[in-house]
Structure 1
Amino acid sequence: MSDQEQAETAADAEDADVEATDEEPETAGLGDGDFVRLAYTIRTADDGEVIDTTDEETAEEAAIDTDEYEFEPRIVTLGAGHVFPSVESALEGEEPGDAGTVDVPATDAFGEYDPEEVETVTADKIDDDDKYPGAQVQIDGRQGRLETIIGGRARVDFNHPLAGEDLEYEYEVLDVIDDREEQAAGMLSVYLQETPDVRIESVTETEETVTEDDDGEETTETEAVEKDVLYVTATQAMQMNQQWMFQKQQIAQDLMGRLDLDRVVVEEVIEGGGMGGLGGMMGGMGGAGDIEDALEDIDVDADEIAAELDEE
């Protein structure tokens, strides 16, 4: 190859490098495990009835009670079952600013309507206040809608109220959430329908490791370990939330797994009208200051107590 040909080849390579550098890097878009803030409105496909929305104005137009809920964009986690599978598929690869509408078939939403889920039960299983057509009733742990009640018998529909309904899911991707505290609050809001106060702190704990050598002699080594702990302030509504009461362990495990946490601590906060009733009790005991002094004088040795119990 001549010197001129070599120079032309080098120039072409240089131009190719410049073009590659000028190109914007490709982004993968949203994927499994991403936390995304969504604005959305869900309607029934046949008549356009709004069944859920993050927009307060849309809720007011649909005559949805706006006093009971907060209407604002929600944080959802892809891959966690927070949205319908067909919606999750549509969100894959999307970026902030993207929007669209997804047709969600009934099978992908709340299931097909099953006539066998309409059952006859004895009327005495229904509270007197709920003995009217259309009432939402709880029968043997199942949620249903009362259709008719005649004498001592009642017909109850245990299908989901939206069973058999195709839906339209209109969405806009607002942004991707990287802050772990926001992610935690977003996950909890999906479960609780409210957003509790949360914080993540790194705490140092001491862990002991016991090793045994060939002679059977044990050696204890102490190591300082950093732990990431999520603190959640429990509201009164949260403590009364049935999903939280029955699934708190599962919810905590989900939080720890997705946010790489070591522990979840729920803090109970009691607010209200002072300590009037307890004040008299404390006065009879010599006052709070005397109690603190007395506690400081108590020396309890847990090992000594355990030894005494073993002797008994």
Structure 2
Amino acid sequence: MSEEQEAEVAEDEATEEVEDGLQSGDFIRLDYTARTIEDGNVVDTTDPEVAEEEGLDEEEREFEPRTIVLGQGHIFQSVEDDITGKEVGDEGHVTIPAEEAFGEYNNEEVKTVSADKIPEDERYPGAHVNVDGEHGHVETIIGGRARVDFNHPLAGEDIEYDYEVVGEVEDDVEKAQGLISMFLDADLEMWIETDEVEEETVVEPDEDDEDAEPETETQTVEKETLYIESTPQLAMNQQWMFQKQQIAQQVIDQLGLDRVIVQETIDGGGMPGMGGMMGGGMGGGDVDLEEALEDADVDEDEIVEELEAEETEE
């Protein structure tokens, strides 16, 4: 074997060694608990036992392993680096310095503002407030002035992060559910279908025909589509209302889909007391017009006179 061939083999082996284990782009289920090093306060956890010990509100969310995508900034960079190359079932402990976690504490971010900028029911020490587009918490209020700390509540805190890689996600629907759960705490029904869709495409004219103009033709194309069954909770979720385009785009990019369709299903039944009128209007059932006019408190003679007047004008 020549020196050149030996170098190529060595390079291939090095590449294989680097790519062993979990890599950027892999979907994994991660169990973790993050605490402040100084006080040991829980910053976040997926462990229901830890949540119960700490008295965290279990009604607001489910404590279970989360689906994340390596290389997408879903977790602290130090933790991501530690996971890369490991296997399902591996555990780890990472210390995250304050500057990487929630930033160093900045005394200049503690500011005095007019109390008028704070709603009356939030003018007390400890209240979380938004002032001029910045989020902070009130330290003190004296007279018409308020002292507000705009640092992150965990600024200056080093964090310790214990984790276990409990699984790798292969199913595309489960991947989509995991991605969306990063933004929304909602249990949504979803599925993926390949749809045939008609699209108009532009056909360029023959280059030899200078007077020809581009034409369009209809083609049938296949689109890989994620369907999401909407719920009242989803429709009223503010984060979804303001960020649904970005959330859907991330799902499309990560899963290689063509589109996301959110659909709403409305069961029949109608509103109480409106069955007869709705049925008549939609082609089902008969309506007694005289009775309907009486119920609606409408004078039928007035309606006839108005119609006759309109015909005369015409």
C-alpha spacing 1:133/1:92, structure 2 compared with 1 (3 Å):
same
Matches within 5 A, 1:73-92: 73-92=65-84
Q: What is the deviation of 1:123? A: 1.0
Could you list the runs of 4 or more consecutive aligned residues of structure 1 that deviate by over 6 angstroms after TM superposition? none
The aligned residue for residue 247 of structure 1 is 243
Give the structure 2 partner of residue 234 of structure 1: 230
- Read off the aligned partner of 1:260 and give its amino acid letter: G
C-alpha change, 1:239 and 1:150, in structure 2 (3 Å) is farther
Q: CA 1:252/1:122 → structure 2, altered by over 3 Å: closer, same or farther?
A: same
Decide whether aligned partners of structure 1 residues 164 and 224 sit closer, same or farther in structure 2, where only a CA change above 3 A counts: same
- 3-state SS of 2:78 partner: helix
Structure 1: gaps of 5 or more residues: 1-24, 292-312
Mapped contact 2:199–2:221 kept (Cα < 8 A): yes
Which residue identity does 1:103 align to in structure 2?
T
Distance 1:116 1:269 in 2: 52
CA separation of 1:97 and 1:232: change in aligned 2, threshold 3 A? same
Cα distance in 1, alignment partners of residues 277 and 44 from structure 2: 51
Change (3 A) 1:149 1:136: same
Deviation at 1:42, TM superposition (A): 0.7
Q: For residues 142-181 of structure 1, what are the structure 2 equivalents within 5 Å?
A: 142-181=134-173
Residue 182 (structure 2) pairs with residue 190 (structure 1)? yes
Deviations 1:53-88 (A, max 9, x none): 111111110111112211111001111111001111
TM-score using structure 1 length = 0.78
Give unmatched runs, 5+ long, in structure 2: 1-15, 286-314
- Report the number of matched residues: 265
Identity %: 58
Q: Which one of 267, 283, 290 corresponds to residue 289 of structure 1?
A: 283
Partner of 1:212: 205
When the two structures are superposed, what TM-score results if normalisation uses the length of structure 2?
Answer: 0.77
Distance 1:224 1:161, change over 3 A: same
Cα separation, 1, equivalents of 2:232 and 2:148: 32
CA displacement, residues 88-147 of structure 1 (integer Å, 9 cap, x when unaligned): 101101111001111111111111111111111111222222121111112223221111
1:255 Cα deviation after fit: 1.1
Q: 1:100 to 1:224 in 2, by over 3 A?
A: same
Quote how far apart the aligned CAs of 1:174 are.
Answer: 0.8
Range 172-181 or range 212-221, more displaced: 212-221
Structure 1 pair 181/130, CA: closer, same or farther in 2 (3 Å)?
A: same
1:266-304 deviations in Å (ceiling 9; x for gaps): 224568995226536526xx243259xxxxxxxxxxxxx
| 1:234 to partner: Cα distance | 3.1
2:59 corresponds in structure 1 to 67
Aligned residues: CA RMSD: 2.4
Distance 2:251 2:167 in 1: 21
